[in-house]
């Protein structure tokens, strides 16, 4: 953010010459790798944001505060998600799954820690494979509380952006299989329900405190989360009753 004109020149050159829309995926993967790989991970994340992050509609400059000031939309995240999918794909042979996960982790604190809803939306846009790999990494590293909170925000994004809620349930099932013991799995599920309850209470307190703006966002957030929780648990009930019927 300290050299806005230089950032814009880098963005326009990389996107217009090396990573032009008409390029083959293998060519784009090659050039994106050449751009990022010589740098440490923190610089890779910043470069990725400069090239593919959201820009101002007024002057075209990179908007560094977009992900930390409030929930954003798919348009602001699509470029970053497409780049992550490219690096995770078979065309980018120099990148391992761990490399891409580390890059996504580092990206989520550029320039400061993102809102969790924006993290969840980026992962959803990046596709099932990277989404599951990212979440499974947290599961095997014992980060159940963080994983549960991310899962809640994924459910919220599914509700807001009109994705099928059964996707979130299936992703939860896949993640549960990563845990090596029943205790770890049950602990994650308990953390998930605790996260729902904590977020609902926080949003309710915001509404009761009268924290309102022009869009009345505190009430809308509560409305979306309550619907998200209801639809998520409805899909779980359908799944559970279907399994019970098939075994009876």
Q: How far is CA 111 from the centre of its chain?
A: 16
Name, in order, each residue with C-beta under 8 angstroms of 222's C-beta and a sequence gap of 6 or more. Answer: 200, 203, 204, 206, 207
Q: How many C-alpha atoms does 160 have within 13 Å on its Cβ side? A: 22
C-alpha 18/C-alpha 25 separation (Å) is 12
pLDDT per residue as tens, the chain (248 positions):
678 999 999 999 999 999 988 889 999 999 999 999 999 999 999 999 999 999 998 888 999 999 999 899 999 999 999 999 999 998 888 999 999 999 999 999 999 999 999 999 999 999 999 999 999 999 999 999 999 999 999 999 999 999 999 999 999 999 999 999 999 999 999 999 999 999 999 988 888 887 666 567 888 889 999 999 999 999 999 988 887 666 65
Q: By C-alpha distance, which of 46, 21, 24, 47 is closest to 34?
A: 47
């Amino acid at each position: 953010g300290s050299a806005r004109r230089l950032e814009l020149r880098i963005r326009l050159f990389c996107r217009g010459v090396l990573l032009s829309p008409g390029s083959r995926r293998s060519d784009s993967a090659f050039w994106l790798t050449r751009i990022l790989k010589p740098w440490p991970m923190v610089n890779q994340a910043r470069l990725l944001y400069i090239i593919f992050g959201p820009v101002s509609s007024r002057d075209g400059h990179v908007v560094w505060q977009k992900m930390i000031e409030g929930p954003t939309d798919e348009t602001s995240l699509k470029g970053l998600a497409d780049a992550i999918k490219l690096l995770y794909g078979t065309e980018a042979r120099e990148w391992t799954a761990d490399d891409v996960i580390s890059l996504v982790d580092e990206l989520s604190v550029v320039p400061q820690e993102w809102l969790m809803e924006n993290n969840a939306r980026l992962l959803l846009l990046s596709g099932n494979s990277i989404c599951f790999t990212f979440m499974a990494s947290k599961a095997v590293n014992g980060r159940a509380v963080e994983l549960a909170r991310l899962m809640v925000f994924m459910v919220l994004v599914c509700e807001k952006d009109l994705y099928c809620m059964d996707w979130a349930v299936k992703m939860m099932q896949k993640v549960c299989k990563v845990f090596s013991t029943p205790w770890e799995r049950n602990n994650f599920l308990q953390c998930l329900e605790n996260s729902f309850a904590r977020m609902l209470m926080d949003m309710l307190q915001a509404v009761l405190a009268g924290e309102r703006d022009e869009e009345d966002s505190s009430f809308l957030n509560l409305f979306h989360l309550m619907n998200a929780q209801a639809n998520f648990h409805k899909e779980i009930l359908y799944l559970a009753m279907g399994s019970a019927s098939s075994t009876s």
